[in-house]
Amino acid sequence: MTWTMAQRQRLALENQILQNEGFTQFGVFHHPADDTYSAGGTATTSVGRNYHVFCMIPPSYPTQRPSLYITDPNPLLNFNGVAISRLGVSHAMHTLEPNTLGWVQICHWRADRWHAGIVLQKVFLKAMLWLEAYEQHLATGRDLADFVRTMQEAA
């Protein structure tokens, strides 16, 4: 994989936006060993719990949508104590295909709604919203979709 200059510049800019706009718990990272990029960090919800979110920057970013996972805790359990990753693609939980390690994939933008104009700052903001909805789900047992109904539509 060779990254174009425009891609590298964009990722540097995206990181600076995260740092300047109060998303310092997140960052964009370069992995020199194999010249790949990732983004992620530890999000803290309003009830004080920590979740680690992570995404590999895909080679056709930003045209290609990045997949965002919750890597810790793992497994991530639902209200009934079932691993959410076992639910697969779920509208009720606003999740997409989990990865092979069992990480839950958050539905930030569906692939059919994603476009290159969306920045990582907004992706992480969606992740924070998802985690707040997840906390509500744990507290009430209601579907996550009840709390983030408009997530896929919002631009």
Stretch that binds other proteins, among 44-52, 76-84, 88-96, 123-131 (CB under 8 A): 88-96
Confirm or reject binding of residue 92 to other proteins (CB under 8 A): yes
Q: Which is nearer to other proteins, 48 or 100 (CB)?
A: 100
Confirm or reject binding of residue 91 to other proteins (CB under 8 A): yes
Give one word for 51, left, alpha or beta, with left for phi > 0 and alpha for psi -120 to 50. beta
Q: Find the binding residues for other proteins in span 56-85 (CB under 8 A).
A: 58-60, 62-65
Q: How many chain residues bind other proteins (CB under 8 A)? A: 42
Q: Angle at the Cα of 129 (from 154 to 114), degrees rounded to 5?
A: 40
Q: What distance lies between CA 94 and its chain's CA centroid?
A: 12
Q: Which residue has the tokens 């359990």?
A: 77
Confirm or reject binding of residue 119 to other proteins (CB under 8 A): yes
Q: Find the binding residues for other proteins in span 31-50 (CB under 8 A).
A: 31-33, 37-38
Q: Which residue has the tokens 């990272």?
A: 29
Residues that bind other proteins (CB under 8 A): 6, 9-13, 15-17, 20-21, 27-33, 37-38, 58-60, 62-65, 88-92, 110-117, 119, 155
